[in-house]
Amino acid sequence: MADKKIKVLGKTLRKVDHAIIAEGLGAKIVNIPEISKEEAEQYQQLGLTLMVSDADPFSIYYLGSRHLDRQDLSIDDVVGYRILDANEEPEFRQQLKNEYATLVRYYGKKEK
């Protein structure tokens, strides 16, 4: 029996539709934009500042959701997040013993 080579001209896997997966799991897709320092002034900070291992959106959403939940807040209330500059929160960074830690703040609409 001879070996035959097959040339694949395109992708053989179908594209996964995240909306269908979320619906099947009873979940909803959350999109939280990163906002600038100037934009953050329009909102109020939700919860405490959080340290994440990296600036990966999954870490920011997942850890943020758990972090806010412990403070009786919801990720649904978040309108944006901001990764703090290296010169912000120096006392917190000293407590962490990591002056280059990735710190995130979550922001929500200001209460009237």
50 SS3 class: strand
85 SS3 class: coil
* Helix%, strand%, coil% for the chain, nearest 5: 30, 20, 50
Which pLDDT does position 12 carry in this prediction? 67
pTM over 0.85: no
Which pLDDT does position 112 carry in this prediction? 60
Whether 1 has a pLDDT exceeding 70, the answer reads no
Domain boundaries, the chain: 33-108
Which pLDDT does position 31 carry in this prediction? 83
Whether the CA torsion 83, 88, 92, 94 is positive or negative: it is: positive
Per-residue pLDDT reduced to its tens digit, 50-107: 998 888 888 888 888 899 999 898 888 899 999 999 899 989 988 988 888 899 999 9
